[in-house]
Amino acid sequence: MPLARRRDNFLTWSGCLDEKKGIAVGSTYRNEKQAKEFMHHIAEVERSNIRENLKNPTFLSIMSDGSTDTSVKDEELVYVRFCHKGKIELKFVGIKSVEKADGAHISNAISAIMEGVCDEWRSKLVALGTDGAAVMTGAKNGVVSRLKGDRAYIIGIHCMAHRLQLTFSDAIRSNVMFQKVEDLLSGLYTFYHTSPLNRVNLVNSFQALGHTPLVPT
């Protein structure tokens, strides 16, 4: 799992448990191709467990949000929330590239992800949690409206953390001191992040003072 999160391969996994135990593991599986194969099978086992857990619950809800990956592609992430053996569980069920970040493409991506883990997800769906963007909450063509269809009982929930962020941002914008601090920090970051020469000079200054440099990345 650490390999998947870091998009890494076995060549840089220096903390290999078998090696720590003094076992010669060889090089057969220590390459990017085999790492990908292992992660694929781990993911399939996790999907199988989620499919099994989603068979019994009568109801489920979906949480979804979009992001941009390192190749500047829109990706939709989907979580499912349900009750399993008396306990509320939240599971990550998938991520899918979105050709265009509009209501139609995002709702299709969510549907494709959910169909991979639960055949009856539409009949079990009771709530959808999203941010407050128009593409998600639009009354006619928003993702929530598209997934609800004619099932008026499905509840669309605007993420409370996103609401708090918007409220805080609106409130703090009227504070002059905040604007000055934000401009200062942004300027410092840009000054060192965009100039190799400035970064080298910063590191040299730290070393001259006998300190470990903390360079913006």
pLDDT, mean of residues 140-161: 90
Q: Would you say 39 and 24 are in contact if contact means Cβ atoms under 8 Å apart? A: no
Please indicate, yes or no, if residue 71 is contained in any of the structural domains.
Answer: yes
The answer to whether residue 139 sits within a structural domain is yes
Q: What is the pLDDT of residue 39?
A: 86
Q: Which residue has the higher pLDDT, 171 or 127?
A: 127
Distance set, CA 87 to CA 30, 38, 83, 84 (Å): 39, 30, 5, 5
Q: Among the listed ranges 16-25, 171-180, 187-196, which one has the minimum average pLDDT value?
A: 16-25
Q: What is the C-alpha separation between 82 and 58, in angstroms, rounded?
A: 9
Contact criterion met (CB below 8 Å) for 34 and 10: yes
Please tell me the predicted confidence (pLDDT) of residue 4: 53
Mean pLDDT of 92-100: 91
Beta-strand relationship, 155-158 and 125-130:
parallel
In three-state secondary structure terms, 69 is: coil
* 150 & 59 share domain: yes
Q: Is 95 helix (H, G, I), strand (E, B) or coil?
A: strand
Tell me the pLDDT of the chain averaged across its residues. 85
Q: What's the mean pLDDT in 20-48? A: 81
Same domain, 42 and 74: no
Residue with the bigger pLDDT between 31 and 178: it is: 178
Which of 4-18, 22-36, 88-102, 134-148 has the weakest average pLDDT? 4-18
Q: Can you say how many angstroms the Cα of residue 91 is from the centroid of all Cα atoms in its chain?
A: 12
- Both 190 and 106 in one domain: the answer is no
Q: Is 155 within the bounds of a domain?
A: yes
Mean pLDDT of 179-190: 90
| Residue 163 Cα to chain centre, angstroms | 18
What is residue 154's predicted lDDT score, i.e. its pLDDT?
93
pTM metric for this prediction: 0.69
Quote the pLDDT of residue 129.
Answer: 93
CATH code where residue 103 lies: 3.30.420
CB 59 within 8 A of CB 124: yes
**54, 118 in Cβ contact below 8 A?**
yes
In the predicted model, is pLDDT for residue 140 greater than 90? Answer: no
Range of the domain at 181: 175-208
Note whether residue 108 is domain-resident.
yes
Does 197 reside within a domain? yes
Confidence of residue 79 (pLDDT cuts 50, 70, 90): very high
Higher pLDDT, 157 or 19: 157
